[in-house]
Amino acid sequence: MMGKQGNLPEIRKTIIVDASIEKVWEAVSTSDGIAGWWMPSTFESILGKEFVLHAGPYGDSPCKVTELVSHNRVGFDWGKDWHVLFELQQLAGGKTEFTLVHSGWDAEGVTEFGQPHTAIRGHMKDGWEKIVKEKFPAYLTS
C-alpha cells in the first residue's frame, strides 16, 4: 500500500505566504501548529513516530511520520491509504512557498468508513483549497 499512487491524481495545493520559513516550519512540524490551521493531533516531529489525527466526526485516524527534513518536508501516512506531504521552500524577501500534496487515491478504493475515494477526493480537494489558501495564511499572520 505504501507509496502506491492509485489511478486518481494527487491533490496538490501551493501558496506563497508572507512569513519566514522558521515560522512556517513551526506551523507544519508541531501538533500545536498543525492544530492551528488544520486539525488537532498527537503529532511529534520524529521520523517513524505513530500519531493520531483527531478528525472530528470521522473519529481518530492512525498516522505515521514517513518523511522529515528540517525546514523542508514533513510527510506522513494517514489511515490505510493516504499520504500527506507538507513541502516548504524559502523565497526572497522573507516569504515561503508552501505546498501540500495528498496522494494515495484509488478509483476502486474506499475509506475505512466505506466511502468511495472518488467521492471523498472531491470533498478533500475543496477542503484543502480553503485550508491552504485561507486558514493557513490566516494562522501565520495571527
Percentage, residues of the chain above pLDDT 70: 96
Residue 5 has pLDDT above 50, yes or no: no
Span of 30-34, 43-47, 78-82 with lowest mean pLDDT: 78-82
CB burial string 4-32: b at 16+ within 10 A, e below: eebebebbebeeebebebebbbbbbbeee
- Cβ–Cβ < 8 Å for 38, 78: no
Contact between 8 and 110 under an 8 Å Cβ cutoff? The reply is no
Quick one: pLDDT at residue 2? 44
| Strand intervals (E) in 18-129 | 50-54, 60-69, 73-78, 82-90, 96-103
Taking the model in full, what pTM does it have?
0.92
Question: 49 pLDDT exceeds 60?
Answer: yes
Place of cell 466511502: 115
pLDDT score for 1: 43
Q: Residue 4 — pLDDT band, cuts 50, 70, 90? A: very low
pLDDT of residue 3: 44
CA-CA distance, 88 to 97, in Å (whole number)? Answer: 6
Give phi and psi for 26, each to the nearest 5.
-60, -35
Model pLDDT for residues 72-115, shown as the tens digit of each residue = 999 999 999 999 999 999 999 999 999 999 999 999 999 888 88
Q: What pLDDT does 6 receive?
A: 55
Strands 11-17 and 50-54: unpaired
